[in-house]
Amino acid sequence: MNLAKQICPTTTMGKIENGALIVDVRKREEVANVTFDVSNYINIPIDELEERFNELPKDKEIVMVCLSGERSLKTTYFLMNNGYENVFNMDGGIIKWASKNFPTKGNVESILNQSSCDCSSSNCC
Protein backbone atom coordinates (compact mmCIF):
# COMPACT_ATOMS: atom_id res chain seq x y z
CA MET A 1 0.00 0.00 0.00
CA ASN A 2 1.22 3.48 -0.84
CA LEU A 3 1.83 6.02 1.88
CA ALA A 4 -0.39 9.08 1.96
CA LYS A 5 1.16 12.29 0.66
CA GLN A 6 1.50 14.70 3.58
CA ILE A 7 1.74 18.41 2.83
CA CYS A 8 2.02 21.51 5.00
CA PRO A 9 -0.28 24.57 5.01
CA THR A 10 2.07 26.56 2.77
CA THR A 11 2.00 23.85 0.09
CA THR A 12 -1.76 23.56 0.56
CA MET A 13 -2.16 27.29 -0.10
CA GLY A 14 -0.27 26.87 -3.38
CA LYS A 15 -2.50 23.96 -4.37
CA ILE A 16 -5.63 26.03 -3.57
CA GLU A 17 -4.33 28.79 -5.84
CA ASN A 18 -4.02 26.16 -8.58
CA GLY A 19 -7.60 24.91 -8.14
CA ALA A 20 -7.28 22.11 -5.58
CA LEU A 21 -10.39 21.20 -3.58
CA ILE A 22 -10.19 21.43 0.22
CA VAL A 23 -12.26 18.74 1.96
CA ASP A 24 -12.77 19.44 5.65
CA VAL A 25 -13.79 16.28 7.54
CA ARG A 26 -14.54 17.97 10.86
CA LYS A 27 -18.01 17.89 12.41
CA ARG A 28 -20.41 20.68 11.44
CA GLU A 29 -20.23 22.28 14.88
CA GLU A 30 -16.42 22.43 14.64
CA VAL A 31 -16.67 24.09 11.22
CA ALA A 32 -19.28 26.54 12.57
CA ASN A 33 -16.75 27.61 15.24
CA VAL A 34 -13.80 28.22 12.90
CA THR A 35 -13.20 27.32 9.27
CA PHE A 36 -10.96 27.87 6.27
CA ASP A 37 -11.69 31.04 4.29
CA VAL A 38 -10.73 29.73 0.86
CA SER A 39 -12.36 28.97 -2.47
CA ASN A 40 -12.96 25.37 -3.54
CA TYR A 41 -13.91 24.28 -0.02
CA ILE A 42 -16.38 21.59 1.05
CA ASN A 43 -17.25 20.15 4.45
CA ILE A 44 -17.98 16.42 4.49
CA PRO A 45 -17.87 15.24 8.12
CA ILE A 46 -15.83 12.05 8.55
CA ASP A 47 -18.91 10.07 9.55
CA GLU A 48 -20.57 10.97 6.21
CA LEU A 49 -17.58 10.39 3.94
CA GLU A 50 -18.29 6.74 3.19
CA GLU A 51 -21.70 7.68 1.74
CA ARG A 52 -20.62 10.97 0.12
CA PHE A 53 -17.12 10.45 -1.28
CA ASN A 54 -18.51 10.04 -4.81
CA GLU A 55 -19.29 13.79 -4.68
CA LEU A 56 -15.54 14.40 -4.92
CA PRO A 57 -13.95 14.74 -8.37
CA LYS A 58 -11.19 12.32 -9.33
CA ASP A 59 -9.75 14.75 -11.89
CA LYS A 60 -8.75 17.45 -9.38
CA GLU A 61 -6.21 17.61 -6.60
CA ILE A 62 -7.90 17.12 -3.23
CA VAL A 63 -6.46 18.18 0.11
CA MET A 64 -8.04 16.55 3.16
CA VAL A 65 -8.08 18.71 6.30
CA CYS A 66 -9.31 18.57 9.90
CA LEU A 67 -8.32 20.07 13.26
CA SER A 68 -4.86 18.53 13.64
CA GLY A 69 -4.36 16.24 10.64
CA GLU A 70 -5.25 12.90 12.23
CA ARG A 71 -8.82 12.42 11.00
CA SER A 72 -7.92 13.79 7.58
CA LEU A 73 -5.05 11.29 7.32
CA LYS A 74 -7.53 8.42 7.80
CA THR A 75 -9.79 9.89 5.12
CA THR A 76 -6.85 10.38 2.75
CA TYR A 77 -6.20 6.62 2.94
CA PHE A 78 -9.92 5.95 2.49
CA LEU A 79 -9.96 7.95 -0.74
CA MET A 80 -6.72 6.33 -1.95
CA ASN A 81 -8.31 2.92 -1.38
CA ASN A 82 -11.28 4.07 -3.47
CA GLY A 83 -9.28 5.05 -6.53
CA TYR A 84 -8.30 8.66 -5.82
CA GLU A 85 -4.73 9.38 -6.89
CA ASN A 86 -4.38 13.15 -6.43
CA VAL A 87 -5.27 13.25 -2.74
CA PHE A 88 -3.15 14.81 0.00
CA ASN A 89 -3.36 15.19 3.77
CA MET A 90 -2.62 18.61 5.25
CA ASP A 91 -0.40 17.84 8.22
CA GLY A 92 -1.18 19.89 11.33
CA GLY A 93 -4.75 20.71 10.29
CA ILE A 94 -6.45 24.03 10.79
CA ILE A 95 -4.41 24.56 13.96
CA LYS A 96 -1.21 24.80 11.94
CA TRP A 97 -3.02 26.68 9.13
CA ALA A 98 -4.28 29.35 11.54
CA SER A 99 -0.90 29.61 13.29
CA LYS A 100 0.52 30.69 9.90
CA ASN A 101 -2.15 33.43 9.71
CA PHE A 102 -3.67 31.86 6.61
CA PRO A 103 -7.30 32.83 5.85
CA THR A 104 -9.85 31.63 8.40
CA LYS A 105 -13.33 32.64 9.53
CA GLY A 106 -14.56 32.35 13.10
CA ASN A 107 -13.04 31.92 16.54
CA VAL A 108 -9.40 31.22 15.69
CA GLU A 109 -8.26 31.70 19.30
CA SER A 110 -10.30 28.67 20.37
CA ILE A 111 -8.15 26.36 18.27
CA LEU A 112 -4.78 28.06 18.61
CA ASN A 113 -4.86 27.23 22.31
CA GLN A 114 -4.82 23.55 21.28
CA SER A 115 -1.73 23.95 19.15
CA SER A 116 0.79 21.18 19.50
CA CYS A 117 3.06 22.70 16.88
CA ASP A 118 5.93 24.95 17.86
CA CYS A 119 6.13 27.05 14.73
CA SER A 120 9.36 28.66 15.84
CA SER A 121 11.10 25.32 15.29
CA SER A 122 12.67 24.37 12.00
CA ASN A 123 10.32 21.35 11.78
CA CYS A 124 7.33 23.58 11.05
CA CYS A 125 6.53 24.17 7.42
**Domain positions in the chain:** 5-112
* Mean confidence (pLDDT) of the chain: 91
Asked if the model's pLDDT at residue 64 lies above 50, the reply is yes
Asked if the model's pLDDT at residue 54 lies above 50, the reply is yes
Inter-residue contact 98 to 104 (CB < 8 Å): yes
Asked if the model's pLDDT at residue 118 lies above 60, the reply is no
Contacts for 68 with CB less than 8 Å, ≥ 6 apart: 92, 93, 95, 96, 114, 116
The domain made up of 5-112 is a member of CATH 3.40.250.10: yes
Q: Supply the pTM of this predicted model.
A: 0.89
Residue 69: pLDDT band (50, 70, 90) is: very high
Asked if the model's pLDDT at residue 122 lies above 50, the reply is no
Active site residues: 66
